[in-house]
Structure 1
Amino acid sequence: MTPVILCGGSGTRLWPMSRHNLPKQFLSLLGDSSLFQEALDRVSYISNENVKLNEVLIVANEEHRFLVSDHMKDFPPTHFKLIIEPLMKNTAPALTLAALKASEAGQDPILFISPADQVIENLPSFKETIDKAIKTASEGNIVVLGVRPDSAHTGFGYIKNGNQKGNNGEYDVAEFKEKPDLETAKKYIEDSSYSWNSGIFIMKAKVWLDALKHCRPDILHATENAYKQSSYDGVFFRPNSILYEKISSESIDYAVIEKSPNILYPAKVLFLDAGWNDLGSWDALWKISKKDKSGNVVRGDVILDDVKDSLVYANDRLVTMAGLDNLIVVETADSVLISSLNDSQNVKNLFSKLELHKREERTLHRKVLRPWGHFDTIDLGENFKVKRIKVNPGQSLSLQKHKKRAEHWVVVKGVATVVCGEKEMTLNENESTYIPCNVKHKLSNRSENILELIEIQTGQYLGEDDIERFEDIYGREVNSHVE
């Protein structure tokens, strides 16, 4: 069996904590581990005396590859392979890449396909269901895990099962239903034959490839072409980026699963009763989180008075509330969300308005992670920006220059090695230097300790895309306009 972790997704309903550069699968929402790390942990529950696990295939987006690597640092590296999508094309091409990789050398393993951003609370029950799913999938079936609905949810697809129960507890899938309106969802939950589509699938690799060939041959052929011209970049397995761009963007459900009652490989549904939650909204997080005696879920520096049934997350500052109930309040360094708990699905509409106004807060946190460390924009005004930069031991920023801004660097901790034009210098604590416009420069930390400095940018344009890169030790493209 080959586990496949699909690590895409943006989690816009969990804004402002979930953003494009740090989506929800990399957030620690319920404990110390991120949702992605919890998904990796769950893999160990799949194996048994009859099931041998191959290496785990992780499919992630180009922009998140270093986040994935960082979140995997405590896991044995020999157990995983990282497949990097040059750009997001939804889940069908992502799974196809994994199926092609799993099928190399004529193999045909069963694939356990799981998103990286879900919660499973009851792991013994999860294992029991997966054991049944493996048996069902080994017979050539497409298995989807269904979850009995506990509310008229409009954010999930629904599965209607038939009446005949199989040897492993599975049912034939009679029909897949798209995300319904509220009135339709209410009818579904009154009918015991309907379940939510969990997004977890189990099937043989060649079953997926053959089914895709039948339903969407264009996606299969385009993905195969990109796969055949793939290459390794360190630990990253990369399909050809030019050919990958030609692939149609489509989900697993729309491409194949929802057509499967009418194709060669039958779809079966097994019911997962294991505390499943996709954490698709703030109210979903509130429902499964530990609450105080007033029904509140609180995290961070929060003081409440006469507040009931609310979720309050403070990430950077003190948050106080009085005489309120049924609210979501999420504070970050640059944004605050306030919403009714009952209307948390509408956060997606707010996010659309952020996109309409091209607000940077929709994609970037004030603190931005990079493969060399991170930076935090601590002040911003007309013609200036101030950043706090931390560079990890042995790491280096790219050799680069800026056309529209100059920079002043002040070392506050550690030792910096600086290239500026033709000069190389060493800066100790309390020492500084000036980087003019249009001059090639590079910042490195050759020590064994964290390097911390304050960067003051000055100029009429201070956007993150004002960069021309010439060399980079992390394999990022030159002139990619991403710092």
Structure 2
Amino acid sequence: MLIPIILSGGAGTRLWPVSREGHPKPFIELADGETLLHKTYRRAASILDAVEEAPREILTVTNRDHYFLSKDEFARAGLEGRYRGTYLLEPVGRNTAAAVALAAHAVAERYGPEALLLILPADHLIQDEAAFRRAVAHAAELARQRRLVTFGIVPDRPETGYGYIEASEALGPGRTVVRFVEKPSLERAEAYLAAGNFYWNAGMFCFQAGFLLEQMARHAPEVAEAAALCWENTRGRMTPQTSMIELDAERFAGIPEISIDYALMERSDAVAVVPAEFGWSDIGSWCALSALVPADAAGNRAKGQAIFLDSRDTYVHSEDRLVAALGVEGLVIVDTPDALLVTHRDKAQDVKKVVAQLKERDHETYKLHRTVVRPWGSYTVLEEGPGFKIKRIEVKPGASLSLQMHHHRSEHWIVVRGMAKIVNGERTCYVRPNESTYIPAGCKHRLENPGVLDLVMIEVQCGEYLGEDDIVRFDDVYGRG
């Protein structure tokens, strides 16, 4: 019995400005039009199809704010109705030890302590799915022998951007683990490659739910105790029909913020590694992401519109505009509607330092795009200035915004496409293309799309304060406060 556990957290700061806290790395669309989370869901489903007697359930551990985005990707991957999608929702980020421990409690509660967990980060890319399934079968064999199993990627170059695993004698289809090694210098990476018993740490794991919790209690008691308390305060929300489980916020915030590697894998003497070659990448930088795009004769690559003149080894990612690269070499150029990144390829790992500065300045580009996805659709800020903001709002068929009110702003709504059902105070009306309505400040209102086509409208806000936190919600079908 095996349950895939998708860890979909983190901000992917090295892939800014496309990856942001509100729309992080797992939701980045690759050159083939699919997201990393989409691919991870399909990979998990293929594992379930290959395992006898496996429950057809995929458990995702993610931030509360990313629940609806994750559900949408599950549906786009064609898994709804064929597999059960369950979601453990974190109120805040506490790193992977907390996420794995709570997932183990949830699986043990539903399937028993001997059920296997297959831990899969949502932001990895795997090219050879058949080889991956074989590696999972080997890992499951070792996990049933009460081992904490990790996957070690056979290195093909002296890579300084990954951690390493040193292995020793054979253990069935795997090897015992001697130690985990931090990202090395180039000299050490070359020595590891020559030694032949060092593997890249892929950050994927397989173990029994009960054994993981036993080992956690032994080697990371602070994490284990806090996670157990959190689960005790959460488990009442889990029923056979439950698909969305919100973790107890107060208890979850008390779990130490530490990775599963540091908390457990580096301390336990029961760790095994399955060496594997399945075309793995953690897409950890713009250099890794650019490698997925075909190159021209000069090594230039582009996603979007780009012109290269007298340029070499340059990557352009452009969402809306044409980018011309003239006489440059070794650059990464990422253009989004509200932020532009230009960096040398050698500095691509340092993009996270830009995000750190943006957070210090409380600049909204570290968190949100100009287009913001919501459970009911999306909105795009077209223009803003003192006292006004103009948005393009798109509402999915059958979806509705919350019944809400604003203290500091009024809103004008003009329908461009589709039909809007609008609650405006005590009045309900239908607004068609080229028609409009006015919502004064302090008035309860709701926007709904009653049709079968997307509703598109322009919103003009006017007022002394136009922040997104000026919302008082009275009723919301998506459970937002």
* TM-score normalized with structure 1 length: 0.93
Alpha carbons of structure 1 residues 172 and 234: separation in structure 2 relative to 1, 3 Å: closer
**C-alpha distance 149-460 of structure 1, shift in aligned 2 (>3 A):** farther
| Matched pairs, number | 471
1:109 partnered with 2:115: yes
Q: How far off its partner does 1:189 sit?
A: 4.1
For residues 156 and 290 of structure 1, the distance between their equivalents in structure 2, rounded to whole angstroms, comes to 24
Aligned residue identity for 2:469: D
Partner of 1:157: 163
- 2:36 corresponds to 1:35: yes
C-alpha separation between the residues in 1 aligned to 2:415 and 2:144? 60
User: What's the counterpart of residue 138 of structure 1?
Assistant: 144
Aligned counterpart in structure 2 of residue 147 of structure 1, from 146, 150, 153: 153
Matches within 5 A, 1:17-416: 17-47=18-48, 51-54=52-55, 55-73=57-75, 74-77=78-81, 78-104=83-109, 106-162=112-168, 164-168=169-173, 170-180=174-184, 184-185=188-189, 187-230=191-234, 231=237, 235-261=243-269, 266-416=270-420
Identify which range, 96-105 or 371-380, moves more after superposition. Answer: 96-105
In structure 2, distance between residues paired with 1:115 and 1:15: 19
Aligned positions of 1:405-444 closer than 5 A: 405-444=409-448
Equivalent pair of 2:409/2:465 in contact (CA under 8 Å): yes
Query: What's the RMSD between the two structures over aligned residues?
Result: 1.9
Amino acid at match of 1:90: N
User: CA distance change for structure 1 residues 220 and 321 in 2, over 3 Å: closer, same or farther?
Assistant: same
Change (3 A) 1:150 1:383: farther
Deviation of 1:184 (Å)? 4.7
Q: Deviation per CA, 1:36-89, whole angstroms, max 9, x where unpaired?
A: 111111124435776432212111110100000111112134432122112211
Shift of 1:259: 0.5
Asked whether the equivalents of residues 102 and 108 of structure 1 are also in contact (C-alpha less than 8 Å), the reply is no
Q: Which amino acid in structure 2 is aligned with residue 235 of structure 1? A: S
The one-letter amino acid of 1:250's match is I
Percent identity reads 38
Distance 1:473 1:107 in 2: 35
Task: Tell me the equivalent position of 1:480.
Answer: none
Once the two structures are overlaid, the 10-residue window that deviates more, 6-15 or 36-45, is 36-45
Q: Which residue identity is paired with 2:255?
A: I
Does the Cα contact within 8 Å between 1:46 and 1:131 map onto a contact in 2?
no
Residues 228 and 239 in structure 1, CA contact (< 8 A), matched pair in contact too: no
Partners of 2:120 and 2:63 in 1: CA distance: 16
TM-superposed deviation, 1:176: 1.3
| Greater CA drift, 199-208 or 170-179 | 170-179
Stretch deviating more after TM superposition (328-337 or 290-299): 290-299
Gaps of 5+ in 1: 478-483
The alpha carbon displacement at 1:421 in A equals 2.1
Q: Deviations over 1:157-202 (max 9, x none)?
A: 221112x12231x221111123345555455444433222100111
Alignment CA distance shift 1:173-1:360 (3 Å) = same
Give the Cα separation in 2 of the matches to 1:32 and 1:279: 16
Pairing 1:437-452 to 2, within 5 Å after superposition:
437-452=441-456
How many angstroms does 1:389 deviate by? 0.2
Asked whether the 8 Å contact 2:149–2:274 carries over to 1, the reply is: yes
Alpha-carbon separation, structure 2, partners of 1:133 and 1:280: 24
Alpha-carbon shift at residue 311 of structure 1 (Å): 1.2
Shift of 1:4: 0.9
Q: Secondary structure at the match of 1:87?
A: coil
Between stretches 175-184 and 106-115, larger displacement belongs to 175-184
Structure 2 distance, partners of 1:402, 1:460, is 11
Q: Residues 464 and 332 (structure 1 numbering): CA distance in 2 closer, same or farther, change over 3 Å?
A: same
Task: State the secondary structure of the residue aligned to 1:337.
Answer: strand
Aligned residue type for 1:10: A
Say which SS state the counterpart of residue 199 (structure 2) adopts. strand
Separation (CA, whole Å) in 1 of partners of 2:100 and 2:348: 30
Question: Bigger CA drift: 411-420 or 180-189?
Answer: 180-189
| SS in structure 2 of the partner of residue 447 of structure 1 | coil
Distance 2:117 2:251 in 1: 25
The range that moved more, 47-56 or 281-290, is 47-56
Counterparts of 1:161 and 1:271, CA distance in 2: 9
- For 2:300, the aligned partner's letter is N
Distance 2:90 2:143 in 1: 27
Contact 2:74 2:85 in 1 (8 A): no
Whether the 8 Å contact between 2:300 and 2:308 is mirrored in structure 1 is: no
Distance 1:138 1:227, change over 3 A: same
Q: In the alignment, is the contact (CA less than 8 A) between 1:3 and 1:53 conserved in 2? A: no
Residue 363 to residue 50, structure 1, CA distance change in 2 (3 Å) = closer
Distance in 1 of aligned mates of 2:360 and 2:422? 40
Report if aligned partners of 2:124, 2:283 keep a CA contact under 8 Å in 1.
yes
- Of stretches 75-84 and 150-159 in structure 1, the one that deviates more from structure 2 is 150-159
Q: Is the 8 A contact 2:113 2:211 kept in 1?
A: no
Query: What SS does the corresponding residue of 2:289 show, helix, strand or coil?
Result: helix
TM-score scaled by structure 2?
Answer: 0.93
Distance in 2 of aligned mates of 1:56 and 1:417? 36
* Of 234-243 and 28-37, the range deviating more from structure 2: 234-243
Inter-partner Cα distance in structure 1 for 2:404 and 2:51: 54
Aligned partner of 1:481 in structure 2 is none
Alpha-carbon distance in 1 for matches of 2:185, 2:32: 33
